[in-house]
């Protein structure tokens, strides 16, 4: 996501997702998109395998005592 997404591209993506939004809602979606982009950019692109939840879960931590 290096280049800016145009409002027309957002409209097309919304239509392809099956969203038939009134203009007011579409404007809210356009305003929110920059925040969605910022959040998506924070997702690590190539996390180490050790970061997988299945690799860091220790069942003994949740074992019942006595």
pLDDT digits (tens, 9 = 90+) for 28-45: 999 999 899 899 999 888
Residues above pLDDT 90, as percent of the chain = 44
**Spans of all domains in the chain:** 7-62
Is 60 exceeded by the pLDDT of residue 1? no
Give me the torsion for CA of 15, 18, 23, 24, rounded to 10°. Answer: -130
Look at the pTM and tell me if it is higher than 0.85: no
Distance from C-alpha of 8 to C-alpha of 18, rounded to nearest angstrom: 16
């Amino acid at each position: 996501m290096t280049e800016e997404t145009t409002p027309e591209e957002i409209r097309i993506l919304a239509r392809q997702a099956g969203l038939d939004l009134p203009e007011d809602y579409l404007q809210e979606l356009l305003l929110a998109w920059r925040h969605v982009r910022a959040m998506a950019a924070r997702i690590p692109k190539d996390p180490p395998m050790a970061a997988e939840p299945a690799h860091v879960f220790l069942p003994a931590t949740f074992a019942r005592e006595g």
